[in-house]
């Protein structure tokens, strides 16, 4: 049996978001245990020119919902990026997972060869569905989840590779 575009998209993104949620749970617990204002971790970044933790979560969410929407040929919902607390970030992740779970495998039939146009400032990028998923979406999504992990780890949250991979 071959791997379907649905199987390479929705379950992978849901798992990544659930693992990101777990990382945030550990981040909040660590802040509370160490008597650190959780807002410090939410605003933390790895380098001055990088996005903070909150934006890493928002971009991972946007990447996931945008991928499923575009590959399934439905409108991509636009959500404001206003989350500034751990509970708000958790709600954003939950909303994204709930959205992803509305998709059905048949919505992705033929998605590997459809043209996906990604609007960007200053132009647009065009991909086949397979190129979009494998060469753009998954690397981008995983970059932001990994960066969120790195921000938390860099700030003393006791997490490791097993937390990132989802082995709890």
Distance CA 69, CA 3 (A): 19
Q: Evaluate if pTM is beyond 0.85.
A: yes
Confidence label for 1 from pLDDT (cuts 50, 70 and 90): low
Q: How many domains does the chain have?
A: 1
- Residue of 63, 88, 68 lying closest to 11 (CA atoms): 68
How confident is the model over 77-116, as pLDDT tens digits? 999 999 999 999 999 999 999 999 999 999 999 999 999 9
Report the chain's mean pLDDT, rounded to a whole number: 96
- Residue of 136, 128, 133, 143 lying closest to 57 (CA atoms): 143
Tokens 């990028």 belong to which residue?
125
Q: Tell me, what CATH number does 14's domain have? A: 1.20.120.450
Tokens 């860099």 belong to which residue?
154
Q: Which domain holds residue 102?
A: 5-165
DSSP state of 135: I
What is the full DSSP assignment across 91-124? HHHHHHHHHHTT--GGGGTTTTTSEEEEEETTEE
pLDDT of residue 24: 98
Tokens 């749970």 belong to which residue?
25
């Amino acid at each position: 049996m071959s791997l379907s575009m649905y199987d390479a998209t929705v379950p992978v993104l849901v798992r990544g978001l659930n693992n990101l949620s777990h990382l945030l749970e550990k981040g909040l617990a660590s802040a509370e245990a160490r008597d650190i204002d959780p807002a410090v971790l939410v605003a933390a970044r790895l380098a001055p020119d990088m996005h903070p933790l909150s934006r890493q979560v928002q971009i991972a969410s946007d990447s996931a919902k945008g991928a499923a929407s575009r590959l399934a040929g439905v409108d991509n919902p636009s959500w404001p990026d206003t989350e500034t607390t751990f509970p708000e970030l958790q709600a954003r992740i939950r909303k994204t997972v709930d959205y992803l779970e509305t998709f059905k495998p048949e919505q992705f039939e033929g998605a590997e060869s459809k043209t996906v146009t990604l609007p960007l400032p200053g132009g647009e990028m065009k991909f086949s569905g397979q190129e979009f998923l494998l060469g753009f979406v998954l690397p981008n999504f995983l970059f932001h989840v990994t960066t969120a992990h790195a921000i938390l780890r860099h700030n003393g949250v006791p997490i490791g590779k097993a937390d990132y991979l989802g082995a709890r």
